Amino acid sequence: MNRRNPPKAVILDIAAIAGHGGDMNSFRRVAVAWAFGVVVLAPAASGAGTRTVVMADAVVVDKSERELRLLRGGAVIATFPVGLGSDPQGDKIRQGDGRTPEGDYVLDWRNPQSRFHLSIHISYPNDADRALAAARGVSPGGGIFIHGTPWLDNVAGFDWTNGCIAVTNADMDAIWAMVPDGAPITIQP
């Protein structure tokens, strides 16, 4: 799969997600989404079945709540607990500060070979971030992603990244399936 051209339809296998790391909270979130009509029936890209996911059209991360929300038409269709940068208070100022950026960005490409299970790139730094860093004489950094973990533990409340947004691998599977490239992401304080 080309990182800039993901498949048009992605099959979501609830049984596989439920078995992925034994994360029952992820299974419950997907099962609730299924029950409330988030998942619809349509032809799948592989022809292997008919389950596909309704795509989110926006993502919101609330840093203070440690929560990632997927939205469609302004309504929340799924939520996931997150871990943030190792110094999560405040906006990212420079490379290496351990902070997760705040503001409006785009999820612009994905890496299916990520060492953190899967990852979706956040378009940080934007023009405003670069200008602010230049005015301070520092590099704004980059390489900010939503990603899974190299282990299967719960990441909620555990801030360990260099500024990325971390979720469990099972949650990353669901996010990967539901969020298209080009979706806007807002990261709130």
Model pLDDT for residues 8-51, shown as the tens digit of each residue: 333 344 334 333 444 444 444 443 343 333 443 334 444 555 56
User: Residue ranges of the alpha helices (H) in 8-80?
Assistant: 14-19, 24-35
The Cα–Cα gap between 116 and 77 comes to: 24
Side chain identity at residue 163, one-letter code: G
- Please name which of 99, 78, 70, 91 lies closest in space to residue 159, comparing C-alpha atoms: 99
Domains of the chain in start order, with CATH, are 56-188 (2.40.440.10)
Total-model pTM:
0.73
In order of 8, 75, 138, 151, 172, the CA distances from 39 in angstroms are 16, 14, 45, 28, 17
Whether the ω angle into residue 125 lies within 30 degrees of 0, i.e. cis, is yes
pLDDT values of the chain reduced to their tens digit, one per residue, 189 residues: 334 433 333 334 433 433 344 444 444 444 334 333 344 333 444 455 556 678 999 999 999 999 999 999 999 999 999 999 999 899 999 999 999 999 999 999 999 999 999 999 999 999 999 999 999 999 999 999 999 998 766 776 789 999 999 999 999 999 999 999 999 999 999
Closest Cα partner for 52 from 22, 90, 14, 92?
A: 14
